[in-house]
A and B are shown apart, each in its own frame.
Chain A
Amino acid sequence: MFTRREALIGAAMAAAAAAAIPAFPALAQPAADISALPRQKVSLVAPPFVHEHDQVATGGAKVVEFTMTIEEKPIVIDDEGTTLRGMTFNGSIPGPMMVVHQGDYVELTLVNPEANEMPHNIDFHAATGALGGGALTHVNPGEQVTLRFRATRTGTFVYHCAPEGMIPWHVVSGMSGTVMVLPREGLKDEKGEPLRYDRIYYVGENEFYIPRDEAGNYKTFESLGESYADTLQVMRGLVPTHVVFNGRVGSLTGENALKSKVGETVLIVHSQANRDTRPHLIGGHGDYVWEEGKFANPPAKDLETWFIRGGSAGAALYTFLQPGVYAYVNHNLIEAAELGATAHFTVEGEWNDDLMKQVDAPRPIVIN
């Protein structure tokens, strides 16, 4: 089903990927005798949470085994009951985060159950070669595949489904997630001093393009195939109907609001596989931010808003200084308030009058 044009794009991408590989930091670790390495099986956890992991690696390189099952299913994405014909890694939008250390091997088994309609694969931005693994992981319904790649570069990296001719549709239907490759000695500031987090939250941002009927109501479809043509039409307009965190409007508010405490340091990983975004914590900051998500670069400090390029994941470290209810938004505020890209943090603790105080409560204007 390759068109000539797509084949050419594919070739160009492969060439660019090959040219980009430098012969240094990432390859500083010698290849290991993989069969002799310890193996660790990790059970993945749905976002906004992340599976248990060490911040500083103990021992040498290992093979970390993950399994993800692809689930195609209708997913309600807002309070009105609008339904997306969703495609997901492991049932969640975004797919779960996988955490390893630099030099470790990621070994993923990707399962495409018989009940699914579509072939799928996975392109890891953290991996080198074969379109990020996309060329080696095609699975039809009823198949599974196992891919191993070495985590040579540190940082937060997007992964996504990338089947020929349908890449954007799979991505905007929910098929993206994040890999975090930590430096073996953990995160560091610009002076090389260690940085640690007490909690990690993983916010995946997605935009959806839901077709409408003549009356302006969102359409529902009986199958993925049936939804394709109409959805593509909306996608080509580049105006999303929804911009959400963790798969639906309000998924990280109310009962599911993120929690923290004054004095606690939180690492917020924010991924967007397709479109630029600009996270902002209302009333807080990014103490240390890896906008591009790559830990080999020193973190930017004291940011008000940070930029996440479409097709990447970034990380922001913040220590809460004041209690309250915080909104964590995409600071295109139209996308935050009207299209859904808002999360809340509830933060317990003591108020610091020195940082802020209402000196005089609202009252009628004083006329002298």
Chain B
Amino acid sequence: MRFLTSKLLCSFAGAMAVSAAALGLEVLVPVSERGLPKLAPIRSTVVAPGSFIHPQPGEYLRDGRPTVAPRIAARIDEPIAIMTYQVSRDEYARCVADGACKPADAFGSGDVPVTGVSYLDATAYAAWHSKATGESWRLPTDEEWAFAAGERFTGDVEPLEEDPQNPAKGWLSSYKQEVDMARQPDPQPRVRGSFGTNAKGVADMAGNVWEWTSTYYVRVTIAPAGDAVESTVDNCGVHVVEGFHRTYMSNFIRDGKSGGCAVGLPPDNLGFRLVRERDGAVARLLSRLRTLI
């Protein structure tokens, strides 16, 4: 019961955020004629359905101790239409010019991923973009992102060593793993496409821009024996961020270096890309009908 309550609370909060953004849109004027650079059409890649092993996001406890997150055999039943590239500065600038998005923290324009954006910014953009296109766009779930990332998916940096008598073993092991990843900070966003496409045709996955997902942080207690979930506590004020590795950030954070923990590998940049809901075609039709009337 508790599980349900907390899930509902998170969905409610999410819905509130989206509808607030949508309300804001009612007073907006189209922007395309304001001397902003002409945008290339949004390219999306359709990722075919399939199955994969999905290490679950969140923190898992068993017997009162951190444990490796379950690796679930996940099935994606429907094709995922995901933006081939992350949302660019120029694209995001349209939303800002329309008054529906706050200016990003990162300077500049161009065909470069927008960075310095929070979860709240990303969802505001999704609402604006949906309105502007008459389609239904949203952030991908962690499962969708992981599936679309394919061979580039890493997940959490989990300790290789755990000792029930010595919690420090896990901390030191995680620290060492992050050091061994030997990833140098790479804070300058590059022209879109610079990190190439993965086997599924999606560009710039796990480059130097980490991406917001719609999956929020959970802490799950697993029963001492078996896989049964004993309790779940959701925190919808924190969302999963995916990229070179998986991490978790408060919704309002725009710079991952400030938003992270005292110890750990921070994301170079925070950005996002969107997926199109399958009902997009219907929405598009409805929108056309509305304009006709």
Residues on A facing B (Cβ under 8 Å):
79-81, 215-217, 250, 254-255, 257, 282, 322-325, 327, 337-338, 342, 344, 346-351, 353, 358, 360-364
Contact = CB atoms under 8 A, between A and B. Distances in A.
Contacts of B165: 350-351, 353
A37 B45 CA distance: 80
B231 A351 contact: no
B262 A282 contact: yes
A337 B258 contact: yes
Nearest to A344: B263
Interface of B: 2, 61, 64-65, 107, 163, 165-169, 171-172, 175-176, 178-179, 182, 185, 187-188, 219, 221, 231, 233, 257-258, 262-263
A358 B64 contact: yes
A215 B169 CA distance: 46
8 contacts: A79-B257, A80-B187, A254-B178, A322-B168, A327-B262, A351-B165, A351-B167, A362-B61
Nearest to A324: B168
Contact of A337 (B61, B172, B262): B262
Contacts of B221: 361, 363
Closest 5 A/B residue pairs (Cβ): A79-B185, A323-B168, A361-B64, A351-B166, A324-B168
Contacts of B65: 361
Contacts of B171: 324-325
Contacts of B172: 323-325, 346, 348
Contacts of B167: 324, 351, 358
Nearest to B219: A362
Contacts of B231: 363-364
Residue of B61, B166, B231 most packed against chain A (CB within 10 A): B166
B168 A364 contact: no
Contacts of A348: 172
A325 B61 contact: no
B168 A217 contact: no
A344 B264 CA distance: 11
Contact of A215 (B61, B107, B175, B257): B107
A338 B61 CA distance: 31
Contacts, number: 72
A217 B175 CA distance: 32
A351 B187 contact: no
Contact of A255 (B166, B179, B219, B233): B179
Nearest to B233: A364
A325 B258 contact: no
A254 B166 contact: no
Interface residue SS majority, chain B: mixed
B107 A338 contact: no
B179 A361 contact: no
A323 B173 CA distance: 12
Contact of A362 (B179, B233, B257, B262): B233
A5 B65 CA distance: 66
Most-contacted residue by chain A among B61, B257, B258 (CB, 10 A): B257
A363 B61 CA distance: 9
A255 B169 CA distance: 17
A218 B259 CA distance: 22
Contacts of A325: 168, 171-172, 175, 263
Nearest to A333: B262
Nearest to A336: B262
Most buried by B among A215, A360, A363: A363
Contacts of A323: 166, 168-169, 172
A361 B61 contact: yes
B107 A254 contact: no
Contacts of B175: 257, 325, 344, 346
Contacts of A361: 61, 64-65, 221
A216 B262 contact: no
A191 B288 CA distance: 88
A217 B188 CA distance: 13
Given A217-B107, A323-B172, A348-B172, A364 B2 contact: yes
Contact of B166 (A257, A350, A360): A350
B263 A351 contact: no
Nearest to A342: B262
Nearest to B163: A351
B15 to A, nearest CB: 23
A358 B168 CA distance: 12
Contacts of B263: 325, 327, 344
Contact of A347 (B168, B178, B179, B233): B168
Contacts of B61: 361-363
Contacts of B187: 79-81
B58 to A, nearest CB: 12
A351 B219 contact: no
Contacts of A80: 185, 187-188
| Of B231, B233, B263, most A-chain CB atoms within 10 Å | B263
Contacts of A216: 107
A325 B265 CA distance: 14
A347 B169 CA distance: 10
A343 to B, nearest CB: 11
